[in-house]
């Protein structure tokens, strides 16, 4: 005999449509306040920001309100819907708080793709669980669940809107409105950037002050990685698992330095510096050294995007190929990746990254762990730093590079290090190095405005110091008996005024309108040198290694190839199927910059042969596999 099901107990009260709508608004506000309260910042400080910028109230409440309405259609009870939505949103906010605690980074929508990785990583961190917060969330859930048993909602007064189809339609309509808002209003970078925050470059501060719900929804459309056409995971796995050779190369120390805004702009004919006044004597001397490979590296961005150049050089992937909307490669990274650190680290090298800035900027503190650097140092970890104005000097960083090298040499262990400097960072205003600092006069035949002359004077002073750093490191390593390869390049050209003010006044055309696609590429070019001391040149048979690179005539290559070129020169081109393929691609298409290319014969084109297009497509698909699927230990 079947047991009869006991019908659910009817609520004591039923509210009509209008009271239910008012209840939905009230519960939306309560749920939003709970999400904001859960965050580590003071709720009072958040509400103060909201009072000054009231649109933030709407932007934070709207997604939660639409979800409550959507589930109210399905559950036919506003309290039940608010219980479900509010509790889930509160726990999501709590997850963001915990992630901020252990990684100094909030939860992003893309993190849902990494639930497995997140679960396995929890045990790696010491987490102070906010039990008081968790208790409040659970009390919120229980109270709303209890209210749902007491107060119900009457069916719609129109008979045709009472059925399951109508409820499903209401649910889907609410979600459609939310999706449309996320793709338009919440995706609006102009709107997002219009709100005042105390530190717009520090993502946790932005989330804390603009509100977690709004910022979370905004990031649905940021830092995305597009799936390339024709992608096959199994096919990419075969490419990546191709046989490699390891352990055959000599142990040569590799010291990489990416210098902030370093360029040879002053080599342009419009400058009239004499040999004695040359801002770049060390760069020019190295270019003529038989142990040097030099040329120009085409970086991802103009006048900005330092971390994107780091990403391209160290991983061999291209920021500009990740997505039409991606502006920061480091924000698109959220898992372990292959990199130069891992190639050299697998051969027993010490691996080191140094940057005299904040650990949180560009999310470097997390990204360099994912790239495999075993030691990561930021300004807070360094002692005895020297400053010029507010910036750590290049000379100070040269000294730290020397100290770290001597330390590894004393242990008889090879070193792979990468340093990103900061001294010549914008802005190039007259007070950059302190009031009254005297800058050498700019030597140029162009008629410059006072603003342009100031910008150039300040910038070129930084170039002099960068070149001095290069000379100091060359002299230091030249005197060492250990084999060393020094790699030195610029991350991007400098920002010298709105609308390329200084470039225009100097007559240096850097737009397609000024000189076609060649000018377009010039706006992304910075100098690089790869130099070996005598010990490294002997160990690597430098002349043969240099000739085997088969560089194009002027040595120009995209930033994504610079790392593979270093691997080739140090005998490790066969240790990674990925970097080996990059070496093959460089020989055919040494420059890839969005839809503009430079072929091996130096021709600049925007049209590829069928074979070239297929090889480039393979590069894109392989990159996507590495970013989304490859399990790197």
Q: Is the pLDDT of residue 158 over 50?
A: no
Nearest to 372 by CA among 335, 401, 404, 408: 335
Q: What local confidence, expressed as pLDDT, does residue 343 receive?
A: 96
Mean pLDDT of the chain: 90
The residue-averaged pLDDT of 102-106 equals 73
3-state DSSP of 612-624: HHHHHHHHHHHHH
Q: Is the peptide bond before 289 cis (omega within 30 degrees of 0)?
A: no
pLDDT tens figures, 289-330: 999 999 999 999 988 889 999 999 999 999 999 987 766 899
Higher pLDDT residue, 497 or 63? 63
Confidence of residue 11 (pLDDT cuts 50, 70, 90): low
- State the CB neighbour count (10 A cutoff) for residue 615: 16
pLDDT tens figures, 507-561: 987 764 565 566 778 889 999 999 999 999 999 999 999 999 999 888 999 999 9
The percent of residues above 90 in pLDDT, for the chain, comes to 71
Nearest to 464 by CA among 439, 491, 430: 439
Q: Is the pLDDT of residue 157 over 70?
A: no
pLDDT tens figures, 20-62: 888 899 999 999 999 999 998 889 999 999 999 999 999 999 9
The percent of residues above 70 in pLDDT, for the chain, comes to 92
Q: What local confidence, expressed as pLDDT, does residue 1 receive?
A: 41
Domains and CATH numbers, the chain: 13-221 (no CATH), 253-628 (3.40.720.10)
Rounded CA-CA distance 581/572 in Å is: 13
Confidence of residue 361 (pLDDT cuts 50, 70, 90): confident
Q: What local confidence, expressed as pLDDT, does residue 164 receive?
A: 75
E-strand spans in 445-581? 484-490, 525-532, 557-558
Q: Is the pLDDT of residue 210 over 90?
A: yes
Q: What local confidence, expressed as pLDDT, does residue 123 receive?
A: 53
Is 524:469 a contact under the CB 8 Å cutoff? no
What angle, rounded to 10 degrees, do the helices at 55-75 and 17-38 form? Answer: 120
Question: What secondary structure letter does DSSP report for 324?
Answer: S
Rounded CA-CA distance 207/219 in Å is: 11
Higher pLDDT residue, 341 or 199? 341
Is 606:597 a contact under the CB 8 Å cutoff? yes
Look at the alpha carbons of 129, 131, 136, 141 in this order and tell me if their dihedral is positive or negative. Answer: positive
Is 573:579 a contact under the CB 8 Å cutoff? yes
The residue-averaged pLDDT of 218-229 equals 90
The residue-averaged pLDDT of 73-101 equals 91
The residue-averaged pLDDT of 140-144 equals 95
E-strand spans in 116-187? 151-153
pLDDT tens figures, 573-585: 889 999 999 999 9
Please indicate, yes or no, whether the overall pTM of this predicted structure exceeds 0.85: no
378: β partners: 355
Higher pLDDT residue, 76 or 190? 190
Nearest to 417 by CA among 252, 172, 194: 252
pLDDT tens figures, 105-134: 788 887 776 555 455 445 545 677 889 999
């Amino acid at each position: 005999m079947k047991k009869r099901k006991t019908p659910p107990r009817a609520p004591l009260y039923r509210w009509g449509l209008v009271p239910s709508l008012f209840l939905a608004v009230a519960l939306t506000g309560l749920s939003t306040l709970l999400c904001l309260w859960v965050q580590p910042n003071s709720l009072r400080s958040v509400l103060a920001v909201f009072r000054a910028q009231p649109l933030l109230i709407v932007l934070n409440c709207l997604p939660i309100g639409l979800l409550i309405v959507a589930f109210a259609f399905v559950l036919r009870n506003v309290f039940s819907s608010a219980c479900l939505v509010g509790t889930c949103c509160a726990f999501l906010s709590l997850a963001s708080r915990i992630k901020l605690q252990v990684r100094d980074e909030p939860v992003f929508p893309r993190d849902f793709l990494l639930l497995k990785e997140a679960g396995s990583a929890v045990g790696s961190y010491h987490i102070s669980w906010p039990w008081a917060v968790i208790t409040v969330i659970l009390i919120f859930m229980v109270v709303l669940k209890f209210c749902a048993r007491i107060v119900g909602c009457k069916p719609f007064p129109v008979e045709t809107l009472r059925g399951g189809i109508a409820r499903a339609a209401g649910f889907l309509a609410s979600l459609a409105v939310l999706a449309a808002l996320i793709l338009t209003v919440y995706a609006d970078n102009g709107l997002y950037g219009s709100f005042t925050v105390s530190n717009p470059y520090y993502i946790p501060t932005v989330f804390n002050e603009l509100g977690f719900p709004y910022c979370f929804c905004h990031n649905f459309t940021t830092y995305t990685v597009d799936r390339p056409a024709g992608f096959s995971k199994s096919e990419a796995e075969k490419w990546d698992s191709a046989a490699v050779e390891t352990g055959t190369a000599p142990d040569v120390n590799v010291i990489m330095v990416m210098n902030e805004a370093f360029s040879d702009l002053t080599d342009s004919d419009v400058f009239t510096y004499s040999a004695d006044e040359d801002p770049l004597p060390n760069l020019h001397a190295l270019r003529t050294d038989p142990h040097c490979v030099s040329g120009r590296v085409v970086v991802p961005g103009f006048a900005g995007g330092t971390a994107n150049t780091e990403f391209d050089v160290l991983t061999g992937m291209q920021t500009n190929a990740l997505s039409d909307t991606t502006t920061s490669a480091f924000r698109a990274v959220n898992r372990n990746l292959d990199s130069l650190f891992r190639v050299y680290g697998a051969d027993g090298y010490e691996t080191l990254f140094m940057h005299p800035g904040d650990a949180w900027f560009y999310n470097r503190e997390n990204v360099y762990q994912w790239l495999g650097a075993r030691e990561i140092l930021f300004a807070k970890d360094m002692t005895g730093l020297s400053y010029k104005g507010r910036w750590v000097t290049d000379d100070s960083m040269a000294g730290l590079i020397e100290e770290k090298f001597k330390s590894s040499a004393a242990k008889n262990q090879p070193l792979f290090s990468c340093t990103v400097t900061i001294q010549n960072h914008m802005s190039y205003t007259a007070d950059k190095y302190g009031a009254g600092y005297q800058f050498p006069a700019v030597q140029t035949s162009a008629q410059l405005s006072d603003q342009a002359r100031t910008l150039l004077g300040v910038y070129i002073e930084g170039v002099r110091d960068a070149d001095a750093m290069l000379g100091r490191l060359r002299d230091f390593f030249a005197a060492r008996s250990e084999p060393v390869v020094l790699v030195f390049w610029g991350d991007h050209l400098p920002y010298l005024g709105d609308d390329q003010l200084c470039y225009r006044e100097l007559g240096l055309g850097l737009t397609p309108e000024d000189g076609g696609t060649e000018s377009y590429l010039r706006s992304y070019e910075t100098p690089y040198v790869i130099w070996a001391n005598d010990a490294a040149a002997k160990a690597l048979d430098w002349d043969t290694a240099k000739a085997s690179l088969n560089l194009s005539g002027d040595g120009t290559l995209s930033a994504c190839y610079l790392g593979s070129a270093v691997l080739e020169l140090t005998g490790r081109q066969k240790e990674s199927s990925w970097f080996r393929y990059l070496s093959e691609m460089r020989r055919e298409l040494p420059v890839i910059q969005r839809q503009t290319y430079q072929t091996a014969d130096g021709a600049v084109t925007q049209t590829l042969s069928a074979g070239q297009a297929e090889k480039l497509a393979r590069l894109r698909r392989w990159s996507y596999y590495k970013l989304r699927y490859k399990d790197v230990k």
